Amino acid sequence: MAQWFALKAEQPDALLFLRMGDFYELFFEDAEAAAAALDIALTRRGEHQGLPIPMCGVPVHASEAYLARLIRRGFRVAIAEQMENPKTRTGKAPLRRAVVRLVTPGTLTEDSLLEAHRPNLLLALASSGPAGARLGAAWLDVSTGLFETAAPSLAELPALVGRLEPAEILAPASLPLGDWSSRRGPEPAAGAPAAARHRLAQAFGAADLDAFGNFTDAETVAAVLALDYVQASAAGQMPRLSHPVPQGDATQMMLDAATRASLEITRARDGSASHTLLSATSRTLTAPGARRLATWLSGPLLDPARIAARQDGWSWLLLQPAALARLREALRGLPDLPRALGRLALGRAAPRDIGAVLHGLRAAAAADLAMQGGPFQPSLTRVDPALAPLLARALADPLPARIEDGGIIAEGFDAELDAYRALRDDSRRVVAGLTQDFAQRYGVPALKIRHNAQLGYVIEAPTLMVEKLRAHPELTMRQAMTNGARFSNDELVTLDRRITEAAEAAAARERLVFEQLVNQVLAAGDALQRCAGALARLDALQSAARLAEGGRWCRPLVDDSDVFCIEAGRHPVVEAALGSGAAFVPNDCDLSPARRVLLLTGPNMAGKSTFLRQNALIAILAQAGLPVPAERAMIGIVDRLFSRVGAADDLARGRSTFMVEMTETAAILNQAGPRSLVIVDEIGRGTSTLDGLAIAWAVLEALHGQVRCRTIFATHFHELAQLTAQMPRLSPHTMRVKEWRGSVVFLHEVAAGAAGRSWGVHVAGLAGVPPATVRRAATLRAALERDGHGAPAELPLFAAAREASTPDPLQTALAALEPDQMSPRDALDAIYALQRLMAVSVDETTLSSN
């Protein structure tokens, strides 16, 4: 317990897994928290200050499953291992223990703790300058070696965090993280920029950080915070990371958190990965390829040349079906090479991780042959050519899951290991021979020779034969059992020592050979990392080629113009959900300079939201360098994409649905520019009709005349379609519907024009509202459409509507006059009468206001 207190003091904010034999034990508050989180038994052991000590534990061999559950619940776990071998150490003092690893959400490496198709990023944030005016961000993935930095403004930070979706964030307490606050890790202590530059350059063996690019002071500090944190989590061991790569300014399309949630690019609103843009478009064969594709979709590019390079890759594969087939065969079944390399670098390797390296080298050689003549890197196999043959000779097939299981090194690779194995295995044959010999010698056919953890090799005999064996003086009874007894003799003692020594020598030699192989792999680590990255890129490109194979996905033209023209576009996620049994109705979208604002009206359920989102998703796919679901597409670079589609509240932060809507609208008006794409739905619907119409009108004017961005503006305020005279670039469109036998049929087609009605009552019927209620609603709607006539008088709203629609006496009298039939005297009398009516009207108005 003294060890526990000392180690716990080192990691006060983490659960301490203390290795005790075959279990990791937890004590005190750690045990209570873990028992509740894991639903395991909480026991007591010993006393502290007169009170029993709470305790729980998990088996070492099954610890990863428990760790995964704790990490998902937001815990950090410190692993304290036994640093001495209980078989070889001397003295009676407790085994020395030390924390060898801190397991946190952002420093995971085990496949069982990670999502295979998603990066696992640790994000560090730092500020510099007066009052922290400049921000620096650095993110890394310990499992793959990725290391990048950026210098976002405070306004750009939410978009960056939304793109990265980090598993853990290191940030000053003063820096708000909004929706990502639950992923905040311990607050880091930032150092001076000059010291950070030296530390970062030294970590990657460079004399100066300028060798890797231009970094701001805040970027450098953030990078060192991330680096120090992962090194501390590995008890001082440095993971294998690529050198930091600054992302610079404006290299990727900006999408804020609300837009990402609305479009469900890589994660659905419910947190799952199904029914997302990634799931609908991925045809990848490997986990690294899926992660690469997710990264492309999360950060669409702004450089037409880089976009065209990706397009050239999958376009070449599309035109070379034989090469595509060979590439897919090479990639199929490929293990996760980047994450295997990460575990090898941190000393957490399993035998199958080094097997992944061999498999990866073979896949690279096959892919290299398949890609001859393509627009790719000259070679995927720029790794030491002797490494693959060495691993092929050294590794057994199949490989065990754990080093402790043995059988990693193939027979014939290491002569010393083979000798130890022969001695060990020969001893096993000796046991079988001794069993027959002893059975005949002592006349006990049921005699067995077994190995016991405490006694070593012993003779086991049934109860009826115990006295017969006692008669032999060379046998010593070691243990009585309910169904017999155990005996030993000098031969068995010698045999036990011989077998144990041979088995231990074989295990030690095999571990040594394995470590030598790991060191040879790590010596080629940089080349292997580049090879793994190239394979991931090829997988993403072949996925794009497969997507375009059917001919219904096209290569878009992406340039620096301000055009946005899509012919016969489709929603990729909805189309995938429909499957082959139903046809998706395609629609055009033209936001060319002369008609940059498309005003979309039409009933609910007619497809407005689908049309809005499909054009935004097509823009993302195009700038990710991927095919798009359309017959033809021309897209001028979109620098920022805003999507406000669908209603949602944020009650946890005290924001109503309308407040969320207005906050997102404000972000659009404050941040969008002429190169942005904005898709909005039902602005102003969360308040009264007049307020809502006024807000929608004003926002539409601002987007058209001030922001001047490419916009699709969906609304139920059909009156806005009459603004084309004041807004020359406004193009009214509507969702086509057809009435049929008292019902409405949605055609899902976008056509020029404006809707005449909303068809809300029909939609209520389709949704299952009881027919009586639907009929009553239709009656009330018809009454309201007659300017209030027939509306129920008992409702003040409708009564006011009726009052407002009552004819004015002055207007009635004026309308009744027939000037052509009147004499001058009659005309003068009519004027006096109208004056009297006007005076009465003024008096009534004054009395009403008083």
pLDDT of residue 381: 66
Long-range contacts of 19-24 (CB under 8 A, 24+ apart): 19/60, 19/79, 19/80, 19/81, 19/82, 19/97, 20/57, 20/82, 22/59, 22/60, 22/61, 23/57, 23/58, 23/59, 23/60, 24/57, 24/58, 24/60, 24/63, 24/79
Kindly report the CATH number that applies to the domain delimited by 557-719.
3.40.50.300
pLDDT in the model for residue 639: 94
This prediction has a pTM of 0.81
How many degrees, rounded to 5, is the angle at CA 433 between CA 430 and CA 438? Answer: 120
User: 105 vs 7, 141, 233, 268, 673, CA distance in Å?
Assistant: 21, 11, 11, 21, 37
Domain boundaries, the chain: 2-103, 116-249, 282-387+534-545, 415-516, 557-719, 771-804, 809-849
**pLDDT score of 131:** 56
Cβ–Cβ < 8 Å for 253, 558: no
What pLDDT score was predicted for residue 800?
Answer: 46
Instruction: In the chain, count H helices and then E strands.
Output: 27, 26
Residue 132's pLDDT is what? 57
Same CATH fold assignment for domains 116-249 and 415-516: no
**pLDDT for 356:** 95
Name residues of the chain where pLDDT drops below 70: 87-90, 129-133, 249-250, 377-381, 581, 646-656, 741-743, 756-759, 762-763, 766-767, 781, 784-808, 840-850
Q: In this structure, which topology does domain 116-249 adopt according to CATH?
A: Nucleotidyltransferase; domain 5 (3.30.420)
| Assigned token pair, 414 | 């290491």
Beta carbons of 289 and 543 less than 8 angstroms apart: yes
C-alpha span between 15 and 64 (Å, rounded): 14
In our burial notation (b when 16+ CB lie closer than 10 A, e otherwise), range 148-161 reads: bbbbbeeebbbbbb
Which strands, in side-by-side order, build the sheet including 122-128? 168-170, 122-128, 134-141, 146-150, 245-246
Contacts of residue 847, defined as CB under 8 A and 6 or more positions apart, other chains included, come to none
Cis peptide before 398 (omega within 30 of 0): yes
What was the pLDDT predicted at 148? 93
Measured CA to CA, the distance from residue 771 to residue 159 in angstroms comes to 46
Would you say domain 2-103 falls under CATH 3.40.1170.10?
yes
Q: CATH number of the domain at 282-387+534-545, out of 1.10.1420.10, 3.40.50.620, 1.10.3720.10, 1.10.287.70?
A: 1.10.1420.10
pLDDT of residue 844: 52
pLDDT tens for 656-671 read 677 888 888 888 898 8
Query: Which of 819, 838, 835 has its CA nearest to residue 827?
Result: 819
* DSSP per-residue string spanning 119-157: ---EEEEEEESGGG-EEEEEEEETTTTEEEEE---TTTH
760-813 confidence digits (pLDDT tens)? 776 677 667 787 877 777 777 677 666 544 444 444 444 444 454 455 677 777
| Whole-number Å distance between alpha carbons of 435 and 426 | 14
Angle between helices 321-331 and 351-370 (to 10 degrees): 170
The predicted structure's pLDDT at residue 116: 87
User: Which CATH code is given to the segment(s) 415-516?
Assistant: 1.10.1420.10
